[in-house]
Structure 1
Amino acid sequence: MIESGVAFRDFSLDNPIRAIREVSHDVTGRRPVRLAGGRQASALDIQREYYTRAVEHLQTREPNAQIEQVVDLWGRQLDAVESQDFAKVDTEIDWVIKRKLFQRYQDRYDMELSHPKIAQLDLAYHDIKRGRGIFDLLQRKGLAARVTTDEEIAEAVDQPPQTTRARLRGEFISAAQEAGRDFTVDWVHLKLNDQAQRTVLCKDPFRAVDERVKRLIASM
């Protein structure tokens, strides 16, 4: 949208870090935060502006099912926050799923949110081990929606996105493992841990082809 020249109202925040903290404690979306020009706006005000522009922009583009799915959920989430009727998204939005789980647990056992059992439940919710984590249990009961299949996840382990630097990371890792080389990889660095300590820095997240990476792979 930015590249296409879509114009937005100025919602620059006076103190972004403080605003994030203030908004994160408000599930109503209506708590005002201070903008750079001295005005105030709520999270809902800001989100509605960007959402409206996104919907308008989509109408000028070729259909894209994935983007339309994201924008649809975005709008339903804003509606849910504004109306405080979270049933509209209570299987699709992570914090809403967790909030519903905690509320049911609190009601059932008559305990405060600060109770240690809730903290334990919080940790168990984020346990990603199949068959043990609470989120996995919720998925199997249909209480947490999925957007991918197990087959798609398995394929993604070996097939990174082909239009970003993830492709470069994947090609480098595969080549290094096949060559039996010791290596280090993070978001931007591809490094062979040999005497020369050869490293390629990949700063552009959308660069999927890089001659430097090709040369590094060829040197193995």
Structure 2
Amino acid sequence: MGVRRVMGIETEYGISLQGAPHANPMVLSGQVVTAYAQAHGIRAARGSWDYADEAPLRDARGFDMGRGVAHPSQLTDEWGSDDDPTMANVVLTNGARLYVDHAHPEYSSPEVDTPRDGLIWDRAGELVMQEAVRRLAASPPGINLYKNNADGKGSSYGTHENYLMRRSTPFAEIVRHLTPFFVARQVMCGSGRVGIGVDSKVPGFQIAQRSDFFEVEVGLETTLKRPIINTRDEPHATADRYRRLHVIIGDANHADVAGLLKLGTTSLVLELIEAGAIRESLTVRHPVATLQAISHDPTLAALIELEDGRKLTAVQLLWRYAELVAGHVERTGEGSEPHTAEVMQWWTQVLTKLETDPMSAAREVDWVGKLAVLQAYRDRDGMEWHDPRLKAIDIQWSDVRPDKGIFSKLRAAGRFTELVTADEVQAAVTSPPEETRAYFRGRMLDQFGDAVVAASWDSLIVEVPGQRALHRIPMMEPQRGTRAHVGPLLDASSDIADLVDRLRADEPT
């Protein structure tokens, strides 16, 4: 398998309304989703989300949290009326979900099976949000969005990753071996932030936007008492075969290499865990405190103390994981698989740069590129880290508008290494990935959208004219419903009734 597995990214975007800092963000977020949906003819009935199989309070440790003690933000299986703008929720023809997640508009990418495709469809979400902002700009003063994870005033919002794993892998082994990796991973994948602490009041610069907001090692919550390892057990697939590892500790990446490494290296470490190939203890003595200490030290000198007494830098710990992965893929023969080879090449190259001179990774790593720009302003204008202008630059870095966002302008100027083309990203705005069930979902919305009553990750509900009962089409196997699997069937179907008949006969999804 190597680096290949079903995966995806959910990105909540920061939102603001010029001149109205106290505007209701849920209402604003609803306007974002609605503006995009209306521009593309997506009606509420066409894009409704099916919550029937959602179970956000099921814990991978073997129990369900009671609804009475759950924080309201955890109740993601509840929905309001169709005319409530704060509940706007649509499915796109690229297989993604665009909706209001409490106080933020969220783009949940379609399922992909390689880190490169994960990068492409995540960047497609940026174009979706750009278009929404552009359309809303016609009504001054206009809503704006930011692909970041902290507002600099004490609030954080997530960029979550999802990885399909074998159910047979003991969850305790996932916790044991993945926690140290997540503590260290931020030096490759952090997006950088001005200010230390959840409210950014302590002057300085740190590696990751999210690290200060984590409080515990393991838990079910995502908006309070945030855990390094999230235990939500909601597979959106055949439950006795799969688990969906829900990762909440990552930053929103702009740099292609960092985004590829975030997905790719994590997938490879999960391959090690599933194979039982980590036979040494890399357990960190104080994971939460160490996570934050590493984030606060852009020199990368902070030490991680392991329970066996060893002390390593984050880069040294990542080298150890890379060595274990390299040995494993060499033994299995997976190292020659192109997507695996690409991730290993960049993993080695970025670690070498970070080890030798962290600032030499400015083209590949978000936080390094951001720090280089901020330091140039500081050197030119003599600014200290508490200068509010630096915080303003930090926010503007992630502005989704291509003519305003600092990162966007630097990328256009060739200051960052690009791994995917603008044409690939543009095509992914409307077209689904071809190697997962997202292909069937996206094609259904494109070809038979008027018949789709509701959708979810693992099913579609359609209405056939002249038939009283609705039809649920299950999609419990994420690697079925691909272009090779259902493309000819969709091409041959003249209408939704014809398609349903063919599905009943062939059972392709």
* Alignment-derived partner of residue 277 in structure 2: 6
State which of 57, 70, 77 in structure 1 corresponds to 2:343: 70
Distance 1:108 1:163, change over 3 A: same
* Alignment-derived partner of residue 133 in structure 1: 405
* Alignment-derived partner of residue 50 in structure 1: 321
* Alignment-derived partner of residue 159 in structure 1: 431
Contact kept? 1:130, 1:136, Cα under 8 Å: yes
Q: How far has the Cα of 1:85 moved from its partner?
A: 4.5
Matched, 1:106 2:378: yes
Q: How far has the Cα of 1:66 moved from its partner?
A: 3.3
Indicate the SS of the match to 2:408.
helix
Percent of residue pairs identical: 23
Q: In 2, Cα distance between the equivalents of 1:142 and 1:203?
A: 42
Q: In 2, Cα distance between the equivalents of 1:183 and 1:157?
A: 20
Question: Which amino acid is the alignment partner of residue 98 of structure 1?
Answer: K
Indicate the SS of the match to 2:312.
strand
Contact kept? 2:410, 2:416, Cα under 8 Å: yes
* Alignment-derived partner of residue 353 in structure 2: 80
Q: In 1, Cα distance between the equivalents of 2:307 and 2:447?
A: 49
Q: In 2, Cα distance between the equivalents of 1:30 and 1:198?
A: 58
Contact kept? 2:350, 2:364, Cα under 8 Å: no
Contact kept? 2:459, 2:474, Cα under 8 Å: yes
Q: How far has the Cα of 1:51 moved from its partner?
A: 1.2
Contact kept? 2:452, 2:460, Cα under 8 Å: no
Indicate the SS of the match to 1:41.
strand
Indicate the SS of the match to 1:158.
coil
Q: How far has the Cα of 1:149 moved from its partner?
A: 0.9
Deviations 1:36-92 (A, max 9, x none): 4565433123101111223334443362333323222222222222222522x2212
* Alignment-derived partner of residue 33 in structure 1: 304
Total equivalences in the alignment: 209
Contact kept? 2:435, 2:479, Cα under 8 Å: yes
* Alignment-derived partner of residue 395 in structure 2: 123
Mean Cα deviation higher: 51-60 or 32-41 = 32-41
Q: In 2, Cα distance between the equivalents of 1:201 and 1:95?
A: 42
Q: In 1, Cα distance between the equivalents of 2:300 and 2:472?
A: 45
Contact kept? 1:28, 1:81, Cα under 8 Å: no
Q: In 1, Cα distance between the equivalents of 2:278 and 2:310?
A: 19
Mean Cα deviation higher: 121-130 or 12-21 = 12-21
Mean Cα deviation higher: 112-121 or 27-36 = 27-36
Q: Please provide the CA RMSD for this pair.
A: 3.6
Distance 1:168 1:52, change over 3 A: same
Distance 1:175 1:24, change over 3 A: farther
Q: Which runs of 5+ in 2 are unaligned?
A: 1-270, 464-468, 483-498, 502-509
Question: Which amino acid is the alignment partner of residue 32 of structure 1?
Answer: L
Question: Which amino acid is the alignment partner of residue 302 of structure 2?
Answer: R
Matches within 5 A, 1:163-178: 163-167=435-439, 169-171=441-443, 173-174=445-446, 178=449
What TM-score does the superposition give when structure 2 sets the normalisation length? Answer: 0.35
Q: How far has the Cα of 1:99 moved from its partner?
A: 1.0
What TM-score does the superposition give when structure 1 sets the normalisation length? Answer: 0.74
Contact kept? 1:32, 1:43, Cα under 8 Å: yes
Q: In 2, Cα distance between the equivalents of 1:122 and 1:202?
A: 41
Q: How far has the Cα of 1:5 moved from its partner?
A: 4.8
Question: Which amino acid is the alignment partner of residue 158 of structure 1?
Answer: T
* Alignment-derived partner of residue 213 in structure 1: none
Q: In 2, Cα distance between the equivalents of 1:5 and 1:197?
A: 45
Contact kept? 1:191, 1:197, Cα under 8 Å: no
Q: In 1, Cα distance between the equivalents of 2:473 and 2:288?
A: 32
Distance 1:141 1:218, change over 3 A: same
Distance 1:7 1:153, change over 3 A: same
Q: In 2, Cα distance between the equivalents of 1:102 and 1:203?
A: 47
Indicate the SS of the match to 2:376.
helix
Question: Which amino acid is the alignment partner of residue 299 of structure 2?
Answer: T
Deviations 1:156-188 (A, max 9, x none): 223333334544553454467x21656465xx5
Name the structure where helix makes up a greater proportion of residues. 1
Q: In 2, Cα distance between the equivalents of 1:203 and 1:43?
A: 38
Q: Which runs of 5+ in 1 are unaligned?
A: 211-216
Distance 1:173 1:39, change over 3 A: farther
Deviations 1:75-117 (A, max 9, x none): 2222222222522x22121111111111111111110122111
Q: In 1, Cα distance between the equivalents of 2:376 and 2:441?
A: 43
